[in-house]
C-alpha cells in the first residue's frame, strides 16, 4: 500500500485518509474517491490529497478483519460484519468468556497493523455483550502478512462457556449458639447467587458443625444427584483437618485446594466427590459483594474445569477488597449478569412501510404481486428476518388484511396506520412509535423494494456507531444515496414530525455530520411503482 500526498490527477480510486469538506459536501475518511469526488476537491482549491493506493497483493481492512475474525470467534459467539477495519465479536448467551491467552498474545505479536482486544479471561458476560474486537490499523495489509497472522491462530481464541441450569445442594453447619436468622441469611445469599446464574438450591441440610455430620450430609445430597454441593460452615475453614474438609474426605471425596489468593474469599475449599464439585464457602459468601466464591461458582456452573493451579492463578487481580470501582455483578435479577460499563451490540429494529395505496399500479396492489413464487412484501419481510435486525415490524394500511395474510407464519409484528391515505410520513410516525424503548435504532425499509439483501442490512448495523459520529447509515450506489437507511434513536423525534407523502430524506441534510455511507448495489434505488417495473423485476428473478 502506498500512503501519502497524491496529486488530484492520480487520486481517482484511492482511499481518502482524512475527512475533507468540499462544496459538494463532506467526504469522509475511508471513502474511495470517484471522479466526482476529485472534481469537488479541485473546486475546494485542493491540488493533492492525503490518501492510500492499494497494491495488487493488499487485502482491504474489512476483508482482513473478517478473515481473522472467522478464525478467532468460537462457540456461542457471533462475529458481525466488519466496518472501517473493525470486526466485533459478541456473546450469544450468558456465561463466561474463555480465552486462549497465549495464542492471543501470539497473534498480536505478528504485526502491529493487526490487533485483537478482548475482555478479561473468565469475565462474566451476558448475551449480546461484546467479547472482543479485531482492528486493522491501516486501510489494508499485505496478503503475506495476513496469512502469517492466520497461521498463528491455533483454533478458536474466544468462546463463551454458557451457564448451565443446575440443581445445587446446600449444607449449613451450626453450633448450639448459631441463630436461625443467620442460617436464613446465608441460605438466601447462596440462593440469590444461584438464581442469578440460572440455577437453584434443590435440597438443604442443616447439621451440627462436626466432620461426621458434614460427611453424612454430603453423602445424602450426593445420593440425590444434586451438583454442586455447597457447604457453608458455622465457622471459617482454617485447616485441612477442620470439620468441612475432614467431612468431605470421610464421605469419600478429595480436597483439590484449601485456600485461594483472592481477598475477600481466602478461606475457600474446592473439592470433589466423584464427578460432583464440592465447595466449602468462605464466610464472606454471606454477603452479596463480589468475592472469591463468585469466581469459583461461575466456573463451576459454566462447566469450566478447575485445578489447584487454576485457583492459584486467580491471585493476579484477586485483590477485590480495595477496588471500590470494580464492576459488581447484578444479583437477584436473573441470569443476564454484566458490568455497568459492558459494551453490547446495538439493538436495531427493522421497520417495513407497507401501508401505501399503490396508486401507480392501477387495480393491483404491488406489495401482493407474485414474483418468483412469493409476494413482494413477503420477500422484503423474509430479507429483514434473515438479518440481525429485531424486531421486524410491518406498518399496515391499505388492504391491511391481505398484507397481513401474505405474511402469515413469519415472525413479524404489525402496526396499524389508519391515516395511511395521508401519506408515507404517517406510516413512519406509527412505525417509530411502535418500536421497543430499548431499541437503539431502526432500518427503515420500503415494502416495494424486494431486491434488498440481508447482507446490506447487516453491514449497515455494523457501521452504526453513534458515539463515533455514525448515527445514520446510508447505502450508496453509483454515487447516489438509496434505501434502506438506518436511523439512530436520537433522530426518531425529528422523523416523527415529518408531514405529507414524504419520508425523512430531508433530515439527511440537517444531520450531515452523523451520516456514514456504505457501498451497495443498484437494488437500493429499485422500487416497484409501475406495471413496467414489476414486469422487469419478474424478468430479473425468473
CATH of residue 181: 3.40.980.10
Please name the residues in contact with 47: beta carbons below 8 A apart, sequence gap of 6 or more.
7, 8
Is 276 found in the same domain as 153?
A: no
Is 528 found in the same domain as 379?
A: yes
Is 20 found in the same domain as 100?
A: no
Q: What is the dihedral of CA 100, 118, 104, 469, to 10 degrees?
A: 150
Q: Is residue 324 part of a domain?
A: no
Cα gap 298→95, rounded to integer Å:
8
Q: What is the CATH number of the domain that holds 21?
A: 3.90.105.10
Q: How far is CA 460 from the centre of its chain?
A: 15
Pairing of β 276-281 and β 229-232:
parallel
Question: So what's the pLDDT on residue 345?
Answer: 83
Q: Is residue 132 part of a domain?
A: yes
Task: Domain count for the chain, please give it.
Answer: 4
Peptide bond into 228 cis (omega under 30): yes
Q: Is residue 333 part of a domain?
A: no
Is 536 found in the same domain as 409?
A: yes
Terminal Cα-to-Cα distance of the chain (whole angstroms): 42
Is 451 found in the same domain as 359?
A: yes
Q: Is residue 323 part of a domain?
A: no
Reduced DSSP (H G I as helix, E B as strand, rest coil) percent helix, strand, coil of the chain, to 5:
35, 25, 40
Cα gap 507→225, rounded to integer Å:
62
Is 41 found in the same domain as 89?
A: no
Is 478 found in the same domain as 373?
A: yes
pLDDT in tens, the chain (542 residues): 999 999 999 999 999 999 999 988 888 889 899 999 999 999 999 999 999 999 999 999 999 999 999 999 999 999 999 999 999 999 999 999 999 999 999 999 999 999 999 999 999 999 999 999 999 999 999 999 999 999 999 999 999 999 999 999 999 999 999 999 999 999 999 999 999 999 999 999 999 999 999 999 999 999 999 999 999 999 999 999 999 999 999 999 999 999 999 999 999 999 999 999 999 999 999 999 999 999 999 999 999 999 999 999 999 999 997 554 444 343 333 333 334 456 788 999 999 999 988 766 766 789 999 999 999 999 999 999 999 999 999 999 999 999 999 999 999 999 999 999 998 999 999 999 999 999 999 999 999 999 999 999 999 999 999 988 899 999 999 889 999 999 999 999 999 998 877 778 889 989 988 999 999 999 999 999 888 999 999 999 87
Cα gap 542→448, rounded to integer Å:
18
Domain boundary among 131, 161, 191: 161
∠ Cα 435 440 442 (to 5°) = 55
Q: Is residue 107 part of a domain?
A: yes
Nearest to 261 by CA among 240, 239, 282: 282
Is 371 found in the same domain as 513?
A: yes
384 in Cβ contact with 427 (< 8 Å):
no
Is 153 found in the same domain as 188?
A: no
Is 247 found in the same domain as 301?
A: yes
Domain boundary among 122, 142, 161: 161
Number of CB atoms found within 10 A of residue 480's CB: 10
Is 537 found in the same domain as 456?
A: yes
Q: Is residue 189 part of a domain?
A: yes
Domain containing residue 246: 167-315
Which residue matches cell numbers 429494529?
349
pTM for this prediction: 0.82
> Interhelix angle for 211-223 vs 243-250, to 10°?
50
Is 244 found in the same domain as 137?
A: no
Cα gap 395→426, rounded to integer Å:
10
Domain boundary among 25, 53, 81: 53
Q: Is residue 342 part of a domain?
A: no
Q: How far is CA 159 from the centre of its chain?
A: 13
Q: Is residue 149 part of a domain?
A: yes
Q: What is the residue-wise DSSP string for 307-376?
A: -HHHHHGGGTT-B-TT-TTSPPP--SS-S----TT--B---EEEEEEE----GGGTTS-GGG-EETTEEH
268 in Cβ contact with 259 (< 8 Å):
yes
Question: So what's the pLDDT on residue 365?
Answer: 83
Which residue matches cell numbers 458443625?
209
Nearest to 275 by CA among 308, 309, 310, 303: 303
Cα gap 358→446, rounded to integer Å:
12
Q: What is the CATH number of the domain that holds 150?
A: 3.90.1170
In which element (H, E) is residue 279 found?
strand 276-281
226 in Cβ contact with 202 (< 8 Å):
yes
Amino acid at each position: 500500500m502506498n500512503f501519502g500526498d497524491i496529486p488530484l490527477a492520480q487520486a481517482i480510486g484511492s482511499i481518502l485518509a482524512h475527512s475533507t469538506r468540499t462544496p459538494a459536501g463532506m467526504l469522509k475518511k475511508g471513502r474511495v474517491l470517484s471522479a466526482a469526488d476529485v472534481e469537488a476537491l479541485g473546486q475546494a482549491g485542493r491540488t493533492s490529497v492525503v490518501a492510500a493506493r492499494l497494491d495488487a497483493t493488499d487485502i482491504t481492512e474489512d476483508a482482513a478483519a473478517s478473515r481473522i475474525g472467522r478464525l478467532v470467534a468460537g462457540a456461542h459467539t457471533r462475529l458481525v460484519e466488519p466496518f472501517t477495519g473493525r470486526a466485533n465479536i459478541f456473546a450469544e448467551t450468558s456465561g463466561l468468556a474463555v480465552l486462549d491467552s497465549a495464542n492471543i498474545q501470539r497473534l498480536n505479536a505478528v504485526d502491529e497493523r493487526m490487533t485483537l482486544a478482548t475482555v478479561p479471561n473468565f469475565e462474566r458476560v451476558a448475551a449480546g455483550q461484546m467479547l472482543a474486537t479485531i482492528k486493522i490499523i491501516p486501510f489494508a495489509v499485505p496478503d503475506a502478512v495476513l496469512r502469517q497472522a492466520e497461521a498463528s491462530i491455533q483454533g478458536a481464541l474466544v468462546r463463551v462457556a454458557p451457564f448451565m441450569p443446575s440443581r445445587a445442594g446446600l449444607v449449613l453447619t451450626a453450633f448450639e449458639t448459631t441463630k436461625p436468622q443467620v442460617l436464613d441469611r446465608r441460605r438466601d445469599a447462596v440462593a440469590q447467587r444461584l438464581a442469578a446464574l440460572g440455577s437453584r438450591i434443590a435440597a438443604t441440610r442443616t447439621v451440627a458443625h462436626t466432620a461426621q455430620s458434614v460427611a453424612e450430609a454430603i453423602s445424602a445430597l450426593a445420593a440425590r444427584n444434586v451438583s454442586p454441593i455447597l457447604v457453608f460452615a458455622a465457622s471459617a475453614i482454617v485447616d485441612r483437618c477442620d470439620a468441612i474438609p475432614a467431612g468431605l474426605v470421610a464421605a469419600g471425596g478429595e480436597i483439590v485446594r484449601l485456600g485461594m489468593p483472592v481477598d475477600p474469599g481466602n478461606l475457600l475449599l474446592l473439592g470433589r466427590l466423584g464427578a460432583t464439585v464440592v465447595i466449602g464457602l468462605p464466610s464472606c459468601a454471606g454477603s452479596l459483594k463480589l468475592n472469591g466464591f463468585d469466581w469459583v461458582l461461575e466456573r463451576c456452573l459454566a462447566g469450566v474445569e478447575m485445578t489447584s493451579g487454576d485457583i492459584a492463578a486467580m491471585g493476579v487481580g484477586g485483590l477485590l477488597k480495595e477496588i471500590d470501582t470494580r464492576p459488581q455483578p447484578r444479583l437477584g435479577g436473573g441470569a443476564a449478569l454484566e458490568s455497568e460499563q459492558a459494551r453490547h451490540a446495538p439493538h436495531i429494529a427493522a421497520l417495513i412501510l407497507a401501508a401505501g395505496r399503490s396508486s401507480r399500479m392501477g387495480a393491483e396492489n404491488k406489495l401482493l404481486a407474485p414474483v418468483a413464487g412469493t409476494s413482494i412484501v413477503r420477500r422484503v419481510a423474509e430479507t429483514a428476518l434473515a438479518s440481525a435486525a429485531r424486531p421486524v415490524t410491518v406498518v399496515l394500511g391499505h388492504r391491511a388484511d391481505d398484507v397481513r395474510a401474505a405474511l402469515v407464519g413469519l415472525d413479524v409484528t404489525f402496526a396499524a396506520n389508519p391515516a395511511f391515505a395521508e401519506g408515507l410520513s404517517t406510516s413512519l410516525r406509527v412505525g417509530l412509535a411502535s418500536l421497543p424503548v430499548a431499541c437503539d435504532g431502526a432500518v427503515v425499509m420500503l415494502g416495494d423494494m424486494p431486491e434488498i439483501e440481508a447482507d446490506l442490512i447487516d453491514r449497515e448495523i455494523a457501521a452504526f456507531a453513534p458515539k463515533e459520529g455514525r448515527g445514520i447509515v446510508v447505502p450508496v450506489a453509483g454515487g447516489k444515496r438509496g434505501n434502506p437507511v438506518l436511523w439512530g434513536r436520537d433522530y426518531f423525534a425529528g422523523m416523527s414530525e415529518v408531514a405529507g407523502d414524504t419520508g425523512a430524506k430531508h433530515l439527511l441534510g440537517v444531520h450531515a455530520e452523523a451520516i456514514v455511507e456504505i457501498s451497495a448495489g443498484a437494488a437500493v434505488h429499485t422500487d416497484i411503482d409501475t406495471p413496467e417495473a414489476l414486469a422487469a423485476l419478474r424478468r430479473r428473478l425468473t
